[in-house]
Amino acid sequence: MAENGNGSVKEGFEMPEIKYTKLFINGEFVDAASGKEFETRDPRTGDVIANIAEADKVDVDLAIKAAREAFDHGPWPRMSGYERGRILHKYADLIEQHIEELAALDGIDAGKLFAFGKAVDIPGAIRMLRYYASAADKIHGETLKLNGAYQGYTLKEPIGVVGVIIPWNFPSMMFFLKVSPALAAGCTVVVKPAEQTPLSALFYAKLAKEAGIPDGALNVVNGFGPTAGAALTSHMDVDNISFTGSPEIGSVIMQSAATSNLKTVSLELGGKSPMIIFDDANLDMAVGLASAAVFFNKGEICVAGSRVYVQEGIYDEFVKKVIEVAKGWVVGDPFDPKVNMGPQVDKVQYERVLKYIEYGKRDGATLLTGGKPCGEKGYYIEPTIFADVKEDMKIAQDEIFGPVMSLIKFKTIEEAIERANCTKYGLAAGILTNDINIANRVSRSVRAGTVWINCYFVFDADAPFGGFKMSGFGRDQGMNAIEKYLQVKSVITPIYNSPWL
């Protein structure tokens, strides 16, 4: 039934049973203190999936109290890194036993491709968790070289209670991107998932307990940004806040940290990442990568390659081919394995994307393909390509977070670099060329946190990820991410009669 354009929605997939809908605080599922609930909806239909306990300040306070207690007096930071690692590996084993169910939860909650969830999202989350499970016993301080008869060394201590606020586009991946290094470091955590996608995080909370993560070390409080999120970021007993989401909210979070206890902050925000395709690139590869870079996950990905710069020598041919690819891109029910692209996550996003398509037309860009909703219900949008885009147009400046490609022709390397950097964002960039000098030059010149050369979306647990400029600061993934969750303490003492200094 999956077809491009008509948006027929397949109802065939059996809904996973929704087992957990409450808040997870101090190792227990509990109702919100207020008794309030909110609805989480299926983006394929807009129907309610479940009612979820809605945390506000009172509940967040309780969760932080539990996390504080678990950090200040509990076993978690007092275990050896190896012991923590063993528990986190067990946690990964348990998730592995529920891949299908978890992929289904993210599928109905976020409209994500079920097959992709099973093959990539959930295994990727597991991989992330295992990476940090085995990093837990590899956190090293250093002995120092002091200017005098002193013995000095650094201790890398867990920072304390970590607040985590994550978005809805990759609910599982984001959860483990933040939670795994924090737990590996010995911190305790309070997670606020996105209100659009509260389900899988609760499942993960349950599995954490089963794996042996002590009560209070991991808490999940679903709720909304202005209430639950704000309570977390402004709390005096939270030592670090790690956020992934929009730059607007990132700014609010940073202010909230500044006006409360100066907690450390890391922000992974939006992007308007350039995909730069040079004349010598393999054209078919370029077309494939460029379309995947912006249509993947319905364009709901912070690193979407949403500005496609194509050198003039191959521009016309590129355009012809990329239109074909976009037209062949199958939009439909994410549970249908033939489908390339599901619905946008919710009505707000759906309307926002359509609005930007209107801006594109209004500002004089040429609509090459797509540009319309598809289907009678749900939030499906056609893969859309604009040509003749200029850097000052709204569609070239703002993060659309939808399947909308902006095509731009360029002549020289210098021009490409300058225009690629002509953005307030700096999250990622793609370079397509076989010329080593172009590749090296552009890699260093593009002001972005990740550069993919002749590939895209190659995320890896070992590859640090984060932004330049207004795409945020701090890095997730890799050993760099653990540093966010560690304090550095220098310890210095006099040393007598040392045979060397």
Q: Provide the binding-site residues for other proteins, judged by CB under 8 A.
A: 82, 85-86, 89, 127, 130-131, 133-135, 137-138, 140, 151, 413, 417, 436-437, 440-441, 444-445, 461-462, 479, 493-500
CB nearer to other proteins: pick between 329 and 485: 485
Catalytic residue list contains 96: no
Instruction: Single out the catalytic residue among 268, 300, 382, 483.
Output: 268
CB nearer to other proteins: pick between 9 and 417: 417
CB nearer to other proteins: pick between 22 and 86: 86
Question: Minimal CA–CA distance to 435: which of 419, 407, 416, 448?
Answer: 416
CB nearer to other proteins: pick between 275 and 420: 420
**Closest distance of CB 418 from other proteins, Å:** 11
CB nearer to other proteins: pick between 348 and 492: 492
d(CA 362, CA 209): 53
**Closest distance of CB 321 from other proteins, Å:** 30
**Closest distance of CB 493 from other proteins, Å:** 7
Listed in sequence order, the residues at least 6 apart from 105 whose beta carbon sits closer than 8 Å to its beta carbon are 16, 18, 199, 200, 203
CB 122 within 8 A of CB 103: yes
Q: In whole angstroms, what separates CA 87 from the centre of its chain?
A: 24
38-72 exposure pattern, b = at least 16 Cβ within 10 A, e = fewer: bebbbbbbeeebbebbbbbbebbbbbbbbbbebbe
**Closest distance of CB 74 from other proteins, Å:** 22
Question: Minimal CA–CA distance to 210: which of 96, 119, 341?
Answer: 96
CB nearer to other proteins: pick between 236 and 436: 436
Listed in sequence order, the residues at least 6 apart from 116 whose beta carbon sits closer than 8 Å to its beta carbon are none
Instruction: Please name the residue that has the structure tokens 């190792």.
Output: 27
CB nearer to other proteins: pick between 46 and 81: 81
Q: Which two tokens stand for residue 480?
A: 């760099």
**Closest distance of CB 143 from other proteins, Å:** 10
Return the number of other C-beta atoms located less than 10 Å from residue 464's C-beta. Answer: 16
**Closest distance of CB 208 from other proteins, Å:** 20
CB 332 within 8 A of CB 8: yes
What's the chain's length in residues?
A: 501
**Closest distance of CB 193 from other proteins, Å:** 27
d(CA 354, CA 420): 25
CB 317 within 8 A of CB 283: yes
* DSSP H stretches of helix in 264-385: 283-295, 312-328, 347-362
CB 442 within 8 A of CB 277: no
**Closest distance of CB 106 from other proteins, Å:** 22
Q: In whole angstroms, what separates CA 342 from the centre of its chain?
A: 18
d(CA 172, CA 169): 9
CB nearer to other proteins: pick between 374 and 417: 417
Question: Minimal CA–CA distance to 207: which of 132, 129, 313, 324?
Answer: 129
Which DSSP category does 245 fall into? S
Parallel, antiparallel, or unpaired for β 264-268 and 240-244? parallel
Active site members? 268
